[in-house]
């Protein structure tokens, strides 16, 4: 039996949806991943390319995902199966479910560390941290302790599972409404601290004045991967969230706001980290530990840093939680809709799976040297997971979503879905060109060049 829209659950309002979708999009991707990827890929020029890709590629793909979701009212696998029963398109949904579990597995580790830093800040552990080197040593000790790392990771997966278990509206929407404004305020206060540190102007220049000699195809692929990651695209999260949107709401303007808010928070996060990095004489390519090296070292230069820091880590944890929830929602919605599992069983199985897959990532911050520095590959296990599932898998997923809407399901059907209840899709002819040609071709070119460059 098909469940009705009401039985599956729906967002309370258009604003409720925008906040929940922004809650999914805004998270560690903006505050943890964007700064370190920008630092590894040359600064301002990367930021510029990133913004172009968010609006040129991410925004059209988001419209595509949301319209498939609302049209079918399904999870990703069920959606393709409903539109074209028995076709291989359902593997796109399978890829999404697998990607969701795997992203959650490393994302939850970082979220666990952030969560742990709440208590470290409150206990005054950062009061004597003056230099970034001290912060680095402390962070290595912290993540090098496997009980810490795995324990905190477990707590975070547990919290995520709990929210998911409580269901769509009660869980996700409520959190998102209070969080976003509060987070933005603390971040802006931190920018003020950061740009007034002596020696910070060089960092601002690195972040804001583009040097295009630093750009190559790998950088562009990284920017594209980061755009999909940050916007929660390419694995069916937005498709699933779209399945809870009312037919009265305007998908296009909602998608635009989500892209805008998400990009704003990422840019703001960069404005905190780069000035501080240069003021602390650190190199910008610290990798995934970047925020853990910088934040403790500027907090004690902040009035009431201990309290402020705790507040900050609490808010980042909640931002991460509204994202992990959306990652777990995809696999859970799949087994609930398609396999008839109870929500409880689905949450238990999918949450545990993600936890088990995440253990090597939890041990890759100096706890086990093999995972901290993988032989041959030369990076830590967590960074590897972040590249494979964060960059590649999402880019492949988005490529096929664009192809699916542009060529298989058809732009006309998508536009019909968007233009319900007298809503006019003003930019539909431009969107048609983007989703049929520009998005898939751009993603493909970036991929081919990457492969060619490998040899
Ligand atoms: N976008 C989130 C962030 O920036 C992470 C995330 C949630 C995500 N759901 C996703 C990433 C789906 C890719 C796909 O923190």
Tens-of-pLDDT digits for all 455 residues of the chain?
455 555 666 776 777 788 888 888 999 999 999 999 999 999 999 999 999 999 999 999 999 999 999 999 988 989 999 999 999 998 898 999 999 999 999 999 999 999 999 999 999 888 888 888 888 999 999 999 999 999 999 999 999 998 888 765 555 566 666 777 788 888 898 899 889 988 899 999 999 999 999 888 888 988 999 999 999 999 999 998 898 888 888 999 999 999 999 999 999 999 999 999 898 888 888 888 899 998 888 888 777 778 888 888 998 998 899 899 989 989 998 898 889 999 999 999 999 999 999 999 999 988 898 998 888 888 899 999 998 898 889 999 999 999 999 999 999 999 999 998 888 888 989 999 999 999 999 999 887 877 777 66
Read off the tokens for 171. 């869980």
How far away, in angstroms, is 337 Cα from ligand 1 center? 22
Query: Do 385 and 229 contact (CB within 8 A), yes or no?
Result: no
Q: Is the CB of 116 under 6 A from ligand 1?
A: no
DSSP 287: G
Rounded CA separation 339/87 (Å): 18
Substitution site in 232, 241, 259 for ligand 1 pocket (most atoms within 8 Å of beta carbon): 232
CB-neighbour burial class of residue 121 (10 A; exposed 0-12, middle 13-18, buried 19+): buried
How far away, in angstroms, is 25 Cα from ligand 1 center? 5
Residue 453, CA distances (Å) to 214, 221, 223, 393, 448 in order: 16, 12, 17, 19, 8
Q: If we measure between CA atoms, which residue out of 255, 243, 237 comes closest to residue 72?
A: 243
Rounded CA separation 247/269 (Å): 35
Q: Is the CB of 29 under 6 A from ligand 1?
A: yes
Q: If we measure between CA atoms, which residue out of 360, 330, 373, 443 comes closest to residue 60?
A: 443
Ligand 1 atom at minimal distance to the Cα of residue 390: 13
Angle at 72 between CA 71 and CA 76, to 5 degrees: 120
Backbone angles phi, psi at 153, to 5 degrees: -60, -45
């Amino acid at each position: 039996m098909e469940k009705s829209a009401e039985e599956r659950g729906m967002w309370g309002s258009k604003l409720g949806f925008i906040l929940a979708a922004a809650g999914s999009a805004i998270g560690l991707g903006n505050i943890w991943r964007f700064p370190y990827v920008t630092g590894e890929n040359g600064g301002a020029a990367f930021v510029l390319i990133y913004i172009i890709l968010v609006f040129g590629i991410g925004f059209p793909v988001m419209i595509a995902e949301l319209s498939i979701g609302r049209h079918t009212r399904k999870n990703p696998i069920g959606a393709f199966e409903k539109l074209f029963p028995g076709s291989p398109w359902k593997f796109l949904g399978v890829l999404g479910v697998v990607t969701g579990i795997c992203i959650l597995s490393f994302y939850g580790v970082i979220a666990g560390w952030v969560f742990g830093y709440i208590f470290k800040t409150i206990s005054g552990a950062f009061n004597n941290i003056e230099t970034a080197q001290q912060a680095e040593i402390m962070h290595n000790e912290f993540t090098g302790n496997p009980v810490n790392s795995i324990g905190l990771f477990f707590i975070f997966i547990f919290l995520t599972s709990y929210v998911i278990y409580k269901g769509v509206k009660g869980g996700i929407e409520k959190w998102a409404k209070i969080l976003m404004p509060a987070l933005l305020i603390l971040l802006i206060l931190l920018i003020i601290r950061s740009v007034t540190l002596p020696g910070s102007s060089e960092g601002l220049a690195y972040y804001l004045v583009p040097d295009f000699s630093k750009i190559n195809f790998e950088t562009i692929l990284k920017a594209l991967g980061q755009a999909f990651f940050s916007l929660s695209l390419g694995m069916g999260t937005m498709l699933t969230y779209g399945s809870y949107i009312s037919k009265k709401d305007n998908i296009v303007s909602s998608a635009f706001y989500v892209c805008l808010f998400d990009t704003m928070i990422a840019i703001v996060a960069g404005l905190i980290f780069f000035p501080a990095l240069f003021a602390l004489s650190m190199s910008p390519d610290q990798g995934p530990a970047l925020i853990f090296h910088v934040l403790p070292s500027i907090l004690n230069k902040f009035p009431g840093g201990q309290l402020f820091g705790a507040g900050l880590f609490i808010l980042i944890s909640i931002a991460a939680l509204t994202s992990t929830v959306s990652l777990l929602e995809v696999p859970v919605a799949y087994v609930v809709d398609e396999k008839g599992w109870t929500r409880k069983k689905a949450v238990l199985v999918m949450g545990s799976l993600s936890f088990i897959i995440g253990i090597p990532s939890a041990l890759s911050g100096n706890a086990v040297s093999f995972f901290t520095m993988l032989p041959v590959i030369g990076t830590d296990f967590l960074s590897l997971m972040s590249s494979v599932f964060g960059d590649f898998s999402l880019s492949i997923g988005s490529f096929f979503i664009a192809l699916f809407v542009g060529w298989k399901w058809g732009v006309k059907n998508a536009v019909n879905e968007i233009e319900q209840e007298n809503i006019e899709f003003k930019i539909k002819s431009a969107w048609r060109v983007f989703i049929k040609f520009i998005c898939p071709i751009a993603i493909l070119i970036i991929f081919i060049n990457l492969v060619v460059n490998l040899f």
